[in-house]
């Protein structure tokens, strides 16, 4: 917890910087657009329409969508840029709508008087209409600010540091204090910005110069605090020569720390880790050189990344084929297999398994229509799930998508009857869940493999060599223990990795 709190100031600053930058851009674009729309009512409909559609896209989806878009444009596709762009789009609607409404609400007599005293349309806009619409526009900016600060927590999965890392990380490790810290800090930021904007509105309206200046100074101050870290990460790549990625679950984060620790130990180079990237975001990032390495699983690469299906070769052949195909088709290199397999498994509480006498997936079909199934964000979308359901003829009473930690909580408290989890998850043993045997071998093998970027392979053979020495060093039991340390014992991924690296290397 103290370790978490130590990072809070810089994370908050980064969050602040990201939100304010997006908001500033949003205002800079939406106000002129609103003015145009107010002048040409034919534009208003389409503009508000587009902004409304952007607004209805769930925040996480919008941010995640920026990753392939930026990658297609050949720009930095993970990190601050996609988050900034997504949040910017998200911030447009309230400002745009309020600018149009505010200008439309100006008394026509005042507009006519402005022309009557000799103003040009532009002078009328600047000296009469905008000042009169200002309270409404500022109200729009306040709504936008609150949304942007809240939604910025979703910047974590696209690789931008934000308070979301407390929320996502906390959910992973069942550290609800961290979740609370993340939410509270983001709420405090939102309230602060909102308060300052309200003071600004009041100061301008009542002509209290001191209130206006103070609130502007406050906003600028927040901007300055936010600018320091944000600007640093905005560049194409940052100061650390090597960047290791991780997916949103703790195993991936532990392994990223293991890679980072091993590389630093062997080469002395600074290594940065980017946590909580979306499952496909992370591969895109590697392919486009935004990160240098991360750990993925052979089965995932086979189906999700390479889009291969049946017939499927055996475990070793599949690993070889994945390595060859990734190198040829995607310019990504398999450095080593770590030694353990982490496959998707279906598991249910022991008591229930015994009552139903279910031991294998083959036994499950007759019971499925009365069972409620819990899965994480991915499983139901995956090709393997479709294959599994067809092969074993499984039709569940209900399928619920849950955050992994909530999923285990749900099966513990009997709110779902079985779960689809990962075989190395420490919680399977901790909750005494029976893993149902995949008796027809439908699931592909899921060997954990270290993937490296083309750049790293070309430029840093020493780093590749350092990672290769991890080959075969983590068996199933070791991985489960590492996971247990984080999800059950509350250690940080870095601490768990340090425990592992402190052990003697095999000769």
Give contact residues for another protein (rule: CB under 8 A): 107, 109-110, 112-120, 123, 127-128, 131-132
Residues in CB range of 171: below 8 A, 6 or more apart: 179, 403, 404, 405, 406
- Helix-strand-coil percent breakdown of the chain, rounded to 5? 65, 10, 25
Shortest distance (Å) from residue 201 CB to another protein = 13
> Residue 86 has which token pair?
């997504």
Shortest distance (Å) from residue 99 CB to another protein = 17
> How far does CA 129 lie from the centroid of its chain?
41
Whether 18 contacts 162, CB under 8 Å: yes
Of 133 and 479, the one with the shorter C-beta distance to another protein is 133
3-state secondary structure 414-444: CCCCEEEEECCCHHHHHCCEEECECCCCCCC
Shortest distance (Å) from residue 108 CB to another protein = 9
- In the chain, DSSP finds a helix count (H) and a strand count (E) of 22, 10
Shortest distance (Å) from residue 129 CB to another protein = 10
Q: What is the dihedral of CA 190, 192, 198, 200, to 10 degrees?
A: -120
Of 118 and 307, the one with the shorter C-beta distance to another protein is 118
Shortest distance (Å) from residue 34 CB to another protein = 19
Backbone angles phi, psi at 151, to 5 degrees: -70, -25
Shortest distance (Å) from residue 35 CB to another protein = 17
Of 116 and 369, the one with the shorter C-beta distance to another protein is 116
Shortest distance (Å) from residue 103 CB to another protein = 14
Of 117 and 220, the one with the shorter C-beta distance to another protein is 117
Of 108 and 507, the one with the shorter C-beta distance to another protein is 108
Shortest distance (Å) from residue 214 CB to another protein = 21
Of 206 and 350, the one with the shorter C-beta distance to another protein is 206
Of 127 and 381, the one with the shorter C-beta distance to another protein is 127
The single-letter DSSP state of residue 488 is T
Residue with tokens 């609800």: 176
Of 202 and 391, the one with the shorter C-beta distance to another protein is 202
3-state secondary structure 117-179: CCCCHHHHHHHHHHHHHHHHHHHHHHHHHHHHHHHHHHHHHHCCCCCHHHHHHHHHCCCHHHH
What size, in residues, is the chain?
507
Give the CA count within 13 Å in the CB-facing half-sphere of 190.
Answer: 18
Shortest distance (Å) from residue 117 CB to another protein = 5
Residues in CB range of 5: below 8 A, 6 or more apart: 181
Whether 129 contacts 111, CB under 8 Å: yes
Of 112 and 320, the one with the shorter C-beta distance to another protein is 112
Task: Please name the helix (run of DSSP H) or strand (run of DSSP E) that holds residue 373, with its range, or none.
Answer: strand 372-375
């Amino acid at each position: 917890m103290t370790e978490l709190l130590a990072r809070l100031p810089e994370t908050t600053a980064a969050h602040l910087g990201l939100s304010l930058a997006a908001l500033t851009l949003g205002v800079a674009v939406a106000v002129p657009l609103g003015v145009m729309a107010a002048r040409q009512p034919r534009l208003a409909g389409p503009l508000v329409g587009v902004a409304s559609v952007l607004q209805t896209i769930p925040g996480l989806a919008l941010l995640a969508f920026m990753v392939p878009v930026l990658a297609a444009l050949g720009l930095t596709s993970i990190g601050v840029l996609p988050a900034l762009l997504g949040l910017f789009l998200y911030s447009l609607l309230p400002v745009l709508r309020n600018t149009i409404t505010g200008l439309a609400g100006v008394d026509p007599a005042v507009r006519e008087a402005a022309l009557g005293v000799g103003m040009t349309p532009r002078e009328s806009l600047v000296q009469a209409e905008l000042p009169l619409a200002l309270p409404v526009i500022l109200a729009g900016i306040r709504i936008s600010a609150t949304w942007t600060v809240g939604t910025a927590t979703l910047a974590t999965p696209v690789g931008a540091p934000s308070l979301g890392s407390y929320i996502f990380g906390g959910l992973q490790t069942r550290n609800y204090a961290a979740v609370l810290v993340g939410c509270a800090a983001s709420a405090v930021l939102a309230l602060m910005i909102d308060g300052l904007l309200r003071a600004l509105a009041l100061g301008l309206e009542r002509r209290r110069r001191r209130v206006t200046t103070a609130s502007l100074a406050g906003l600028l101050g927040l901007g300055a605090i936010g600018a320091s870290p944000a600007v640093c990460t905005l560049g194409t790549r940052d100061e650390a020569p090597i960047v290791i990625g991780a997916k949103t679950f703790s195993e991936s984060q532990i392994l990223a720390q293991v890679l980072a620790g091993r590389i630093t130990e062997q080469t002395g180079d600074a290594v940065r880790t980017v946590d909580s990237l979306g499952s496909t975001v992370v591969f895109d990032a590697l392919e486009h050189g935004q990160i240098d390495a991360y750990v993925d699983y052979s089965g995932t690469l086979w189906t999700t990344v390479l889009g291969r299906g049946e017939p499927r070769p055996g475990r070793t052949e599949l690993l070889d084929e994945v390595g060859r195909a990734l190198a040829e088709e995607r310019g990504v290199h398999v450095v080593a297999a770590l030694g353990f397999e982490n496959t998707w498994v279906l598991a249910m509480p022991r008591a229930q398994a015994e009552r139903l006498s279910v031991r294998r997936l083959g036994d499950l079909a007759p019971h499925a229509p009365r069972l409620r199934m819990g899965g994480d964000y991915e499983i139901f979308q995956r090709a393997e799930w479709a294959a599994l359901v067809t092969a074993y003829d499984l039709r569940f009473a209900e399928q619920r998508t849950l955050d992994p930690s909530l999923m285990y909580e749900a099966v513990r408290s009997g709110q779902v009857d079985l779960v689809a989890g990962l075989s190395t998850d420490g919680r399977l043993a901790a909750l005494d869940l029976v893993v149902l045997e995949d008796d027809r071998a439908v699931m592909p093998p899921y060997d954990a493999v270290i993937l490296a970027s083309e750049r790293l392979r070309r430029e840093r053979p020493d780093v590749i060599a350092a990672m290769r020495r991890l080959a075969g060093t983590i068996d199933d039991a070791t991985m489960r223990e590492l996971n247990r340390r984080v999800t059950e014992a509350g250690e940080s991924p870095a601490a768990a990795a340090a425990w592992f690296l402190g052990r003697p290397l095999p000769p």
